[in-house]
Amino acid sequence: MAGWREPDEVPPASVVQLVRRAAASGARVVSLCTGAFVLAAAGILDGHRATTHWRYAAQLARRYPLVDVDATALFTQTGRVFTSAGTVAGVDLCLHLIRQEHGAQIANDVARHLVIGTFREGGQAQYIETPVPRNDDSHAIGASMAMILRRLDEPLTVQRLATQAHLSTRQYLRRFRAATGTTPYQWMLSRRIHRARELLERTTAPIEQIAVQCGFRNATTLRDHFGRSVGITPSRYRTQFRSTETEPAAAPAGWR
């Protein structure tokens, strides 16, 4: 359901019935931006977390009090029901759907074709108070993010990252959130999960080895975070999305 033409307009009964029938049949139901008003009118968002464009979130919550409206999320998923915020967040959600169905590599290829990034997770903030870091912040935070990507396998702490950025811990946390809309831990965790997806798809490395290479203490920790983020186990993900051109992954330092 694309953006509804007018949030104040009650959707026609025929449209509402079509949405209800689709949901009841087990179809994946997706709303983009104000399309959430139609899903809410059909009752399929009752008792579930959902989002829409931040400008209309309060209106959605007032009209449909049984819906748990999250005005901050880029997109949400409850089973086979998905909602997204504004237009660009709708693209994020569509890439998420492609990633679920076809794996990270295909989603990345689509994103490159569209000339957009692929790293915005559903829980990232819709509205960042300072979308573009000030000139004196951008280098420090950008360099810190680059270091995280280079050292995903290391136990990085906020204190270490702040020191590397020549900032106090408090300044670092504030400026990182202003630049990204999330915390260093959540951003780093999302990158580790993304890296795990790539290794699961492209290599035959054991799950334990992949966990170490991605900065998780062990396979159990990877499974826990991976399951919460992706919705399935690493082994099942590999079965579904493994590339036909896999290659052995290089063992991390100390791996035997």
Q: Are residues 58 and 29 in the same domain?
A: yes
pLDDT at 125 over 70: no
Domain finish residue from 62, 82, 114: 114
Q: 37 with 103, same domain?
A: yes
Q: Does residue 227 belong to any structural domain of this protein?
A: yes
| Section 146-158 average pLDDT | 91
Residues 34 and 55 in one domain: yes
Evaluate whether 82 touches 75 at the Cβ level (below 8 Å). yes
Q: Report pLDDT for 256.
A: 35
Residue 131 has pLDDT above 50, yes or no: no
Chosen domain end from 114, 145, 161: 114
Indicate if 52 and 105 belong to the same structural domain.
yes
Last residue of a domain, one of 61, 79, 114: 114
The answer to whether residue 64 sits within a structural domain is yes
- Separation of first and last alpha carbons in the chain: 51
pLDDT (tens digit, 9 = 90+) per residue, 90-100? 998 998 899 88
Length reported for the chain: 256
Pair 45, 109 in one domain: yes
For the segment 26-49, the average pLDDT, to the nearest whole number, is 95
Kindly state whether residues 146 and 206 are assigned to the same domain.
Answer: no
Domain of residue 141: give its range. 135-181
93 part of a folded domain: yes
- In a domain? residue 199: yes
pLDDT at 224 over 80: yes
Regarding whether 190 and 177 lie in a shared domain, the answer is no
> Is 2 part of any domain?
no
84 inside domain: yes
Tally of domains in the chain: 3
DSSP string, 5-65: S-TTSPPPHHHHHHHHHHHHTT--EEE-GGGHHHHHHTTTTTTSEE---GGGHHHHHHH-T
Lowest mean pLDDT among 27-31, 103-107, 239-243: 239-243
- Give dist(CA 1, CA 90) in Å, integer: 11
Same domain for 99 and 24?
A: yes
* pLDDT above 60: residue 4: yes
Q: Are residues 143 and 221 in the same domain?
A: no
Of the pLDDT bands very low, low, confident and very high (cuts 50, 70, 90), residue 111 is: confident
Residue 205 placed within a domain: yes
Whether pLDDT at 116 is above 60: yes
Residues 56 and 98 in one domain: yes
Please, how many CA atoms are within 13 Å of residue 59, restricted to the half-sphere of its CB? 15
Q: Confidence band (pLDDT; 50, 70, 90) for 253? A: very low
Whether residue 30 is found in the same domain as residue 101: yes
Q: At what angle do helices 135-150 and 169-180 cross, to 10 degrees?
A: 90
Residue 6, domain member (yes or no): no
- Assign residue 38 the CATH number of its domain: 3.40.50.880
Residue 196: give its domain's CATH number. 1.10.10.60
Single-letter amino acid, residue 129: E
Cβ(31)–Cβ(22) below 8 Å: no
Same domain, 86 and 57: yes
